[in-house]
Amino acid sequence: MDYRDIILHPATVHIPIGAIVAAACFVFYGWYRRLSDIEQAGYYLVIFGWVTLIPSIISGTIDAVNHLQNPRTPSDALNWINFHAACAIGLLVVLWLAWQLRRRMTGVVWEHPRYRQFLGYMALVLVLIFCSGWSGGYMVYTLQLGRLP
Ligand code: HEM
């Protein structure tokens, strides 16, 4: 068995996907119902989601390099990998911005003048996680990347 047969990426993506979707749901629900405990739980999930993104980005880069060296990889795979990787990097950046903005807010956070900006970042995070997951699924199930022969 070759080390390239060990597909780590699919095993590492589901924790950040779950944490990030839950973070956005908690933040929006907490803000909408003015429940500060729920909103704060969402903020902690933002941090957890950002940290768990790191292994998924490393494992995705390793898998992408392996696929691009493989002659059986379809020719349009590079475009999909680029789109998928751009969404992943965007996710890392926007989630970081959301974290840094929110961590400076104290007291009743939705009264902070920049709280709407934080909500905007979280909405963008939801779009990016959707694009990442959808393009990843397309590569696996349509382009057959990472599938056993
Ligand atoms: C630079 C970063 C990334 C690269 C280069 C990358 C690359 C890839 C590649 C090549 C695949 C095809 C399957 C495989 O060989 O593993 C894939 C699948 C996938 N990726 Fe990524 N990825 C990256 C980051 C992410 C992130 C941050 C997420 C979400 C948190 C993500 C979610 C997925 C999903 C859901 C699949 C489908 C897995 C399956 O259904 O088996 N990827 N990715």
The 10s digit of each residue's pLDDT in 84-97 is 999 999 999 999 99
Mean pLDDT of 93-109: 97
Extract the tokens encoding 134.
């959808």
d(CA 14, CA 99): 20
The Cα angle at residue 101 between residues 51 and 19, in degrees rounded to 5: 35
Sorting pLDDT into bands at 50, 70 and 90, what band is 1?
low
- Give dist(CA 83, CA 79) in Å, integer: 6
Q: Is 81 in the pocket of ligand 1 (CB under 6 A)?
A: yes
CA 43 to ligand 1 center in whole angstroms? 25
Residues recorded for the chain:
149
Q: What is the pLDDT of residues 53-89, one digit of tens each?
A: 999 999 999 999 999 998 989 999 999 999 999 999 9
Is residue 125 within 6 Å of ligand 1 at its C-beta? Answer: no
* 26 CA → ligand 1 middle, Å: 25
- Evaluate whether 21 touches 76 at the Cβ level (below 8 Å): no
